[in-house]
Structure 1
C-alpha cells in the first residue's frame, strides 16, 4: 500500500524514497485511479527523484471516505494536504483527469506561495479550455463499464466480479462527474513550462486539443506524440518511462524497473 510521509497524512504515498535533495515529482491519478497505479513509475525514478503520489478519497485504504464533488473541492483539498510536503520547485505529473487536478493544484500553489512548479507534465488530456462534456456520468453501470474498458482503464475480467464492480463503479462515476463538470476559469494559466504527452490512438484527445495547452501557460509548451491509446503508460510502460526521463532530463538507467 505504500507509506505515508508521516502517520497523519492519508493524501500522500511515498513508495520509493529517492536520494536526499533530489528533484521532487508529484503524481496525480486519473479518474477512478489510485496511488498504487504509479508505484512502478515511483520505483523507476527512485534513483534520481523523490516521487509523491496523491491518494484521493474513496479508494484503497480511503474507501470509506466521501469523494470531493467538484474539481475545485478536489484541488483545494489536495493542495492543502500536499502543501507542507512540497519542495521549492516540484514537478507535477497528471494523467487524464489527474492532469487537470495537477493544473489546478499548480495554480493554487502559485496563488499561495508566489512560486510555480518547475514543470507541469500532462498526459492524455485535452487542454482545460478544450474539454467537452460527454455525459458519461449519465450512463448506466454496464454502459459506463464498457466506456472504461474501451479506454483500457480496467482489466477485462473485472466484469465477471460483481463485488469488485460495486467498489469501482461508484468511485469512477463520481470522478467522471467531477471531470465532466469542470470548466476552466477565463484566462486560467500557470507560470511554468508545460509538457504534453499525447497518445497517437487516444479516442478522447486530439492534436488540436492537446496543442491548446499553449493557451494555459506563460512559459512555453512542448507536445510529445507517443505510441498507444489513452492508457499507453500501462500498455507501453518503457516508452512512457523513456519520455518521462527525457522531460525530466534524467539519463536512462542500465536496466529499467518499469
Structure 2
C-alpha cells in the first residue's frame, strides 16, 4: 500500500498532521503521566500535558487502533492526559504479529504500563478494551503497583455473562469480507478500508486476531477488581444488552454504577457533552454506586 510505512495509520487515520501519529512522549518531570522509561510501542500520547493532575489510560475496541481516540484525547480538559494503548498488528506496530489472546494482550500492556505510572490512573476500555482494561487492572492490583482508581467499561458486557455476538460462528476460513463486516457493522473502522484491497490485507490479520482473542476469552464468575467500575452503555447497541453491561457489578469488590446513553455501539462519536462530562468526572473522582447484577 502506498504510504503505509509513512503514515503508520492504515486502519484508523484520525491524526491531523502529515506524520499522522505523533511520536510517543515519555517525559521525566513529576507532573506527567509517563515516567522516564525507555519508549514502548504499546503506549501513545497524542497530547502531552506536563501539568496534568490526572491520567486516563484508554484501551481500544476490537479492530481498533490508538489513533481512533485522537479526537477524544484532544477534547479532554487540561488537567487530564490520555495515554492510548496500541495493540500489535496495526499502525506503528503494523508488521508485528497480532496477539493470540486477551491474556497475551493484558500481559503486554501490564509490562509496558507498570513502570510508567507515577500515580493511580483511570482506565477507559471500549468494547474489547473493557476486558483488556479489566485484566490489566487485575495484574496491577496483584503486583501492588499504581493500580487504577476506577475502570470505565464502555459498550462492554461483563466478563462472565457476555454473549459475544461479534464472534458468534467465527471460523478461520471465514471470507475476508465477512470478517470485516463484523467490525464495520459496529462503526469502529472507516469505510475506506473496504475499497482498498492492499489496505484490507494489511489490517485483516489484526481484526482476525482480535476476534479470535474475544471468542476464546473465559473468566471465572468470581474474578474481580478492587476498584469501582463505571459502566457506559448505549440504549441502541445491538451487541451489548443492558443486562450484560450491568452485570459488571459482580466483577468488583467496590461499587458499580451504570450510565445509559442514546445511540449505538459507538455512541460517543463526536464526543457528546454528556459523555465527556461523565468520563472526566470518573477520571477525577471515584464514586460509590449501586450494583446492578
Counterpart pick for 2:66 among 22, 30, 35: 35
5+ unaligned residues in a row in structure 2: which ranges?
1-20, 27-37, 286-293
Deviation of 1:114 (Å): 5.8
Mapping of 1:69-218 within 5 angstroms? Answer: 69-113=100-144, 116-133=147-164, 134-135=167-168, 137-138=170-171, 139-218=174-253
The aligned length equals 250
- Can you list the C-alpha shifts for 1:7-39, whole angstroms capped at 9, x where unaligned? 631111111122435111111111111111111
Greater shift, 124-133 or 204-213, is seen at: 124-133
Counterpart pick for 1:229 among 258, 264, 268: 264
Looking at structure 1, the residues matched to 22 and 273 of structure 2 have their Cα atoms a distance apart, in angstroms, of 22
Deviation of 1:136 (Å): 5.2
Aligned to 1:13: 44
Looking at structure 2, the residues matched to 136 and 33 of structure 1 have their Cα atoms a distance apart, in angstroms, of 21
Query: Could you state the TM-score of these two structures normalised by the residue count of structure 1?
Result: 0.90
Looking at structure 2, the residues matched to 161 and 178 of structure 1 have their Cα atoms a distance apart, in angstroms, of 26
* Pair 157,15 (structure 1): closer, same or farther in 2 beyond 3 Å: closer
Looking at structure 2, the residues matched to 65 and 32 of structure 1 have their Cα atoms a distance apart, in angstroms, of 15
Deviation of 1:137 (Å): 3.2
Looking at structure 2, the residues matched to 146 and 21 of structure 1 have their Cα atoms a distance apart, in angstroms, of 39
Deviation of 1:153 (Å): 1.9
The secondary structure found in structure 2 opposite 1:130 is coil
The secondary structure found in structure 2 opposite 1:164 is helix
The secondary structure found in structure 2 opposite 1:72 is helix
Query: Could you state the TM-score of these two structures normalised by the residue count of structure 2?
Result: 0.80
* Pair 206,125 (structure 1): closer, same or farther in 2 beyond 3 Å: same
Looking at structure 2, the residues matched to 19 and 5 of structure 1 have their Cα atoms a distance apart, in angstroms, of 11
- Cα contact 1:189–1:218 (8 A) shared by 2: yes
Greater shift, 186-195 or 149-158, is seen at: 149-158
- Can you list the C-alpha shifts for 1:82-134, whole angstroms capped at 9, x where unaligned? 11111331101100000100000000000011653110001000000112344
Aligned alpha-carbon RMSD (Å) = 1.9
Looking at structure 2, the residues matched to 154 and 181 of structure 1 have their Cα atoms a distance apart, in angstroms, of 22
